[in-house]
Amino acid sequence: MDRKRKIVFIGFDIEGTGGISTYSRYQVRALRESFENVRVYTLDKFDKQHNGYSDITIKYTNKLLLVKLLFNLIKEQKNIDFIIFNHVNLSFLGAILKKLYKIRYMIFGYNTDVLINLKGLYEFGFKNSEAIGIDCKYTIDRLKEFHNFVPTTHLLYDPIDTNFFKPNNQKESQNIIAKKYNLNLSDKFIITTIALMRKSGNKGHRLIIDAIKKINNKNILYFVTSGGEDKKNIERYVKNNNMQKQVIFFGFVENELIPHFYNSSDLVALISKNEYGKGEGVPLGLIEASSCEVPILAGDEDGSYEAISDKFPNGFRVNPRNIDEIAEKIKFYIDNPDIKKEHGENGRKFVIEEFEYSKFRDKQTSIIESILND
């Protein structure tokens, strides 16, 4: 391996929140461990939450800034061997540099960003890429439904830092959360969703709320963390259903507290639907929960399917259009604590086998080397 390769990583909101931002930070970390010359550009639409990953920050207020970035890259082209883009909407920059200077590039896709009919510059960037990195088999399998030409694809699952996301005593983690937020968590069955509440409204919050209401067990609490455009709508939905005593909104939480939110929980859920422009890859929040030995509920229509292991059963796949089924699985875990514990323990085995960070790092490095040595 040539550690002196000059790698440039360009992405939206690398130091922000959400699954793509987190995935990008793992990519940057892996690049810096594998190569000596790595330069990172972040185009920030939102406020930073995790500093120390980017070398150059561009406040992304309009598309004209991409022209400025392109000129910067042209000036630096002699110092670039390879470019990685964290979003297809940036890939046309790579296509232009490839045409002008034969610089190779690849893009990473997840689900709704590439499972759509791309047009113009976005299509130009997509089809001229050396390769596409994808975080789930589901997305890879469907690419040809939307694109006449698909570059070489590589499966690269979301990595998990299993030393950070690890099991902890549930009562101890609950005490930490209870003390910080002044809560009484005694004898509660806690369900948690950790995900940005994007405008698409497709993380399953309303489904869980409906299922809890249907079960009618006042000892169930639903923890909702993070923010986003849909948060106010979900808060209104809770109020309209008179569920304020059972649904708790925490907003954005400190990174160090996230493992405690998982370990406080009896169940972590993210249940998305597959519709045009909507859907998930493998939800990072579900895999992080599994690493903490907490069972999970996932939808069965998109990449979420792959968050559940058949080899190491770590939760249930559910139909996101069937509230009865979702309620049934929640009740199953309430009534079967031994199986809940078994599914949690299985989850960590699954994560170590498929999602452990060092495997991600080595595979990403191998992909880059294979492209540059071709």
Q: State how far the Cα of 358 lies from the Cα of 363, in Å rounded to an integer.
A: 9
Contact indicator for 266, 330 with CB cutoff of 8 Å: no
199 and 305 housed in the same domain: yes
188 and 323 housed in the same domain: yes
Q: State how far the Cα of 169 lies from the Cα of 244, in Å rounded to an integer.
A: 28
pLDDT given at position 275:
83
Give the rounded distance of the alpha carbon of 84 from its chain centre. 18
The backbone region for 203, taken as left when phi is positive above 0, alpha when psi lies in -120 to 50, beta otherwise, is alpha
pLDDT given at position 85:
98
112 and 174 housed in the same domain: no
Residue 164 within any structural domain of the chain: no
Residue 1 within any structural domain of the chain: no
pLDDT given at position 364:
98
pLDDT given at position 196:
83
Q: State how far the Cα of 62 lies from the Cα of 306, in Å rounded to an integer.
A: 36
Edge-first strand order for the sheet with 189-194 is 247-251, 220-225, 189-194, 267-270, 296-299, 315-318
pLDDT given at position 17:
87
131 and 15 housed in the same domain: yes
Residue 165 within any structural domain of the chain: no
pLDDT given at position 359:
96
pLDDT given at position 259:
98
Residue 336 within any structural domain of the chain: yes
Q: What is the CATH number of the domain that holds 253?
A: 3.40.50.2000
126 and 77 housed in the same domain: yes
Locus of tokens 């109020």: 239
pLDDT given at position 95:
98
Residue 316 within any structural domain of the chain: yes
Residue 163 within any structural domain of the chain: no
24 and 122 housed in the same domain: yes
pLDDT given at position 130:
98
Q: State how far the Cα of 40 lies from the Cα of 333, in Å rounded to an integer.
A: 44
123 and 181 housed in the same domain: no
305 and 239 housed in the same domain: yes
Pairing of strands 6-12, 82-85: parallel
pLDDT given at position 290:
99
Name every residue whose Cβ is closer than 8 Å to that of residue 4 and which is 6 or more positions away in sequence.
Answer: 35, 36, 37
Q: Please state whether the predicted TM-score (pTM) of the whole model is above 0.95.
A: no
Residue 193 within any structural domain of the chain: yes
Which residues in the chain show pLDDT less than 50? none
233 and 299 housed in the same domain: yes
187 and 212 housed in the same domain: yes
Give me the domain span that covers residue 109. Answer: 6-158+357-372
229 and 248 housed in the same domain: yes
pLDDT given at position 194:
94
Q: State how far the Cα of 315 lies from the Cα of 297, in Å rounded to an integer.
A: 6
Residue 324 within any structural domain of the chain: yes
186 and 248 housed in the same domain: yes
pLDDT given at position 199:
77
Q: Per the structure, how many domains does the chain have?
A: 2
